[in-house]
Amino acid sequence: YALQGSRWRVKKLTYKISKYPTLLEKKVVDKDISRAFAVWSEYTDLTFTQKRSGQVHIEIRFERGEHGDGDPFDGPGGTLAHAYFPVYGGDAHFDESEHWTVNSYRGTNLFQVAAHEFGHSLGLSHSDIKSALMAPFYRGYDPDFVLDSDDIQGIQALYGTRTSKIGGTDTNVHHRTTASPTGEEDQELCSDPKVDTMFNSADGNTYVFKGDHYWKLTSDGVASGYPRPITTTWRGLPGNIDAAFTYKNGKTYFFKGSKYWRYVGGRMDGDYPKDISEGFTGIPDNIDAATVWTGNGKIYFYKGTKFWRFDPSQKPPVKSTYPKLISNWEGLPNNVDAALTYHGFTYFFKDKAYYRFNDRTFSVDIADPAFPRATAYWWFGC
């Protein structure tokens, strides 16, 4: 099996079928989609609840041709469906041009394709094991379908083994509904939630750096056993880091002053530090924050009132039209402390508060409660 690198932080997930196929009855589709999710909940503590309206984790749509995500369907045959990994929102799209069928050797079996796509929605990439559900090729209707051991190992690597019929936690740092966090509060972060940097590691964990220490975040706050000295995990890395991000190559870059360091996990990846002007030509020293848009590989650097877009595949990597003003992005503050890409959104942190940026509207999200929100409560479980 192969893990894409992101996963859901909650185990109670919701879904909505926003657009049904025209040739199948809605209740039949509902049943097969539910069965497809059950393939994964059978071996984990994940639960999936269908909603008819409102916000959900996974949106399901049956669409033809170009359908708004830049990845058009190709008519009957060819590609049958695609889905987004958790970091991109988890949505699943099915090609309406296919002849979707239920319990039939004719057409394309909806249940099997949906179960495969939901594997992507949960964080699994394609497997090179032929018998695995997560193998990329459609094998035809299998009336005796059972999940392959390769798929079971994959999903349990992400979400653990099933412990009970009612499993998981429904608290999430971004959708918390309860005011009382479990476990002890972290005194340092709760008394002063201003941080140096936040970033996601290649294995899907989110870390907070502040001074000489770091914390690992969980779905409802800070993991026990933290803070720890930064040097215990990233040997050779100084404290008071300005910014950090993990690139799609799985390597994590740390920035401080005019220097940067590159790590693979906790191992320094060569001879570092190096000058930012050498490795990131066009980016200034002493940056405030950095994020990488995982989809297109472009890296955004923020400093003061400005931001720069760095594209490693271009020469020069920073276009002459940069820097641009952060104020172009409605609702965002200048001089941010940290920025983090998480579940398809970019979060900006400044002092005690954070902002959720919606890249589709190029503005801070309108939500209830409104942004900025308290970082201590929503992220650190205070």
Name the site residues for another protein (rule: CB under 8 A). 4, 69-71, 73, 77-85, 88-89, 108, 113, 116-117, 120, 125-126, 128, 130, 136-138, 248-250, 293-297, 313, 344, 359-360
**DSSP character string of 165-185:** SS-S----TTT---SS-SSPP
Smallest gap from Cβ 79 to another protein, in A, equals 4
Q: What is the chain's Cα-based Rg?
A: 22
- Determine contact, residues 313/299, Cβ cutoff 8 Å: no
96 belongs to the catalytic site: no
| CA-closest candidate to residue 269, choices 242, 235, 292 | 235
Four-residue CA torsion sign, 198, 203, 205, 210: negative
User: Residue 241 corresponds to which amino acid?
Assistant: I
Least separation in angstroms between CB 137 and another protein: 5
Q: Which is nearer to another protein, 90 or 227 (CB)?
A: 90
Taking the C-alpha atoms of residue 339 and residue 342, their distance in angstroms, rounded to an integer, is 10
User: Considering beta carbons, is residue 23 or 370 the nearer one to another protein?
Assistant: 23
CA distance 53 to 59: 10
Q: From the CB of 63, what's the least distance to another protein, in Å? A: 12
| Of residues 120 and 350, the one with the C-beta less far from another protein | 120
| Minimum distance of another protein from residue 214's CB (angstroms) | 26
Q: What DSSP letter does each residue of 281-299 carry, written as one string?
A: TTPPSS-SEEEEETTTTEE
SS3 of 88, please?
helix
C-alpha distance across the termini of the chain, in Å: 37
- SS3 state of residue 49: strand
Which one is catalytic: 63, 96, 98, 117? 117
C-beta of 27 vs 315, nearer to another protein: 315
| Token digits of residue 44 | 């984990």
- Inter-residue long-range contacts of 232-237, CB under 8 Å, 24+ positions, other chains counted: 233/266, 234/261, 234/263, 234/266, 234/268, 235/266, 235/268, 236/261, 236/268, 236/272, 237/261, 237/263, 237/268
- For another protein, which is the closer residue by CB, 6 or 197? 6
Q: Which residue has the tokens 């071996």?
A: 43
Query: Token pair for residue 186?
Result: 């972290």
Nearest-approach distance from CB 141 to another protein, in angstroms: 12
Q: What count of other Cβ atoms lies within 10 Å of the Cβ of residue 161? A: 11
Of the candidates 195, 263, 272, the residue with the CA atom closest to the CA atom of residue 234 = 263
In the complex with another protein, the residue whose CB is nearer, 218 or 294, is: 294
Q: How far is the CB of 331 from another protein (least distance, A)?
A: 18
Pairing of strands 58-63, 12-19: parallel
Compute the least distance from the CB of residue 107 to another protein, in Å. 11
Q: Name the residue nearer to another protein (CB basis): 172 or 341.
A: 341
Q: Which residues are catalytic?
A: 117
